[in-house]
Amino acid sequence: MKKLLFAGLLAVIMMLAVVACGKDDDDSDNKATATPTQAEQPKDTPTPTTAPTEEPTPTPIPELTKERYDAMSAEELLAEGGITDYANVTVDQCVWLIETFRFADFRDDKGILTAAKLGSKCPTSEAIKLVRSGFPKKDDWNTCMGRFFDSQYAGARAYGFYRCATINGLSEDNQKKVLDLIAKEEEPVVILQATEALKNDMAKNEIIRDFILRASHAEDYMIRNKAANALGCTASIGVPGVVERITEMMKDEHKNVRTLACTNCGHLADPSLVAPLKAVLDDPNEDAGVKSGAIAGLAYLCYDYPMHENVNEEAWNVLIEYFSKTPRGKDAPIGSGFSSISRTSEKTFAAWKEKATYYNAEQLFNLMVDIIKDADADYLLRTNAVTCAKTHGTAEQFASLAEVVNGLTDNMAEQIQKAYNDAVAGN
């Protein structure tokens, strides 16, 4: 019996041993097939890392030089500045573009200063035409303007003035920048454009007045031209030093400056200007174009088309006397000067005639007839006299002029007759 019990117990123990061996084998199989995330990594083995990928070295963009700039199209220049959205140009992009004016030439082939390229004929100006509608607006534009005035590049500062019609159109901060700038500016193109931009502001600020008076002495005659325009405008009436300086400019070394000074001074309505203008007309050596400017200046003083506000009998008498002089050569009197008195404004002329007691329409008409008949007078003078006769004569008087005109037999008769027939037809 004991032997049977012992035998049974031994059998149970052997079975348990077999089961235990099977479990160990299963565990080994599981460990052998485990994934790397499941399997336990040896503590002394480093975790593998991915080698970094080297970024390719970008091809450097060539520096923008004048040589490259001159060869660029507008589209290429915009691409250079990363300006691809033409409808939404950022402040930085706008300033970058305007500062490329530093490569533009502001003198022509003869070395004459010009600001024309601020509006055309260079890559920057052509590029602006493509994107200007997309330039920053309002406060962002004020920021741009301030950066133009602060720019180290003269072309950008000049463009700031190019976009400025008057100092009143600028923000308060930019007005201060402009006043600080013009007090020390030395670059001709900036002075040129600033003189044009601020021409109506001399009476508003002493700094502007002094700036334009200095500009009237500039070495470049183109700047002096702009100054003559600024000095001789109605906004400069009463500004100290203006009449004196524009009178001096009637003797400038350059005939263009003299012409503009003579023409524009009439807007100042100052009686003291009659004498120097008469002196210009009486100078036998003066250029014909300058004399034409003097006629226009006198006409502004006494006739003032189209406003018809100024009244000056002395100036009127100088004109009548001058056009009455004979012989009337090809250089004097000047036909183009008639344009200043050959038109009237329906709104203001009647009121002017009441003030201008010296105006005598019949006297003026008869003078024009005398000039038309003068075979020695210049063709332009005679044809303009036809227009002036129509303006100041009655319909009956002008109709009667046909007999005079058709009776001309000199070598310019055909041209005068054509001018008369064109005037009759309203051409």
Q: Would residue 54 count as lying in a domain?
A: no
Q: Is the pLDDT of residue 27 over 80?
A: no
Domain end, chosen from 141, 169, 198, is at: 198
d(CA 137, CA 28): 76
| CA distances, 59 to each of 54, 56, 84, 313, 337 (Å) | 15, 9, 20, 76, 64
Q: Is the pLDDT of residue 316 over 80?
A: yes
Banded pLDDT at 221 (limits 50, 70, 90): very high
Q: Show the tokens assigned to 220.
A: 């470049």
Q: What is the mean pLDDT of residues 212-220?
A: 98
d(CA 126, CA 106): 15
Q: Would residue 370 count as lying in a domain?
A: yes
Q: Would residue 22 count as lying in a domain?
A: no
Domain end, chosen from 141, 163, 198, is at: 198
Q: Would residue 327 count as lying in a domain?
A: no
What pLDDT is stored for residue 337 in this prediction? 66
Highest mean pLDDT (candidates 51-60, 177-186, 376-385): 177-186
Banded pLDDT at 302 (limits 50, 70, 90): very high
Q: Would residue 102 count as lying in a domain?
A: yes
Q: Which of 148, 40, 42 is closest to 91 using CA atoms?
A: 148
Q: Which residue range(s) make up the domain with 111? A: 64-198
Q: Would residue 365 count as lying in a domain?
A: yes
What pLDDT is stored for residue 29 in this prediction? 45
The CA angle 65-68-69, to the nearest 5 degrees, is 80
| CA distances, 224 to each of 250, 253, 264 (Å) | 11, 11, 13
d(CA 298, CA 271): 10
pLDDT digits (tens, 9 = 90+) for 92-107: 999 999 999 999 999 9
pTM: 0.81
Domain end, chosen from 153, 175, 198, is at: 198
Q: Show the tokens assigned to 114.
A: 């010009």
What pLDDT is stored for residue 18 in this prediction? 44
Single-letter amino acid code for the residue at 305: Y
Is the peptide bond prior to 58 cis by the omega test (within 30 degrees of 0)?
no
Buried b (16+ CB within 10 A) or exposed e, 96-106: bbbbbbbbbeb
Q: Would residue 155 count as lying in a domain?
A: yes
Return the higher-pLDDT residue of 19 and 367: 367
Q: Is the pLDDT of residue 190 over 80?
A: yes
When divided into structural domains, the chain yields a total of 2
β-partners of residue 113 are 107
Buried b (16+ CB within 10 A) or exposed e, 377-389: bbeebbbbbbbbb
Buried b (16+ CB within 10 A) or exposed e, 287-323: ebbbbbbbbbbbbbbbbbbeebebbbeebbebbeebb
Q: Would residue 9 count as lying in a domain?
A: no
What pLDDT is stored for residue 10 in this prediction? 47
User: What's the chain's average pLDDT?
Assistant: 87
pLDDT digits (tens, 9 = 90+) for 99-146: 999 999 999 888 899 887 887 789 999 999 999 999 999 999 999 999
The conformational region for residue 308 under phi > 0 = left, psi -120 to 50 = alpha, else beta, is left
Q: What is the mean pLDDT of residues 74-94?
A: 97
d(CA 205, CA 197): 14
pLDDT digits (tens, 9 = 90+) for 36-68: 444 444 444 455 555 555 655 555 557 899 999
What pLDDT is stored for residue 17 in this prediction? 46
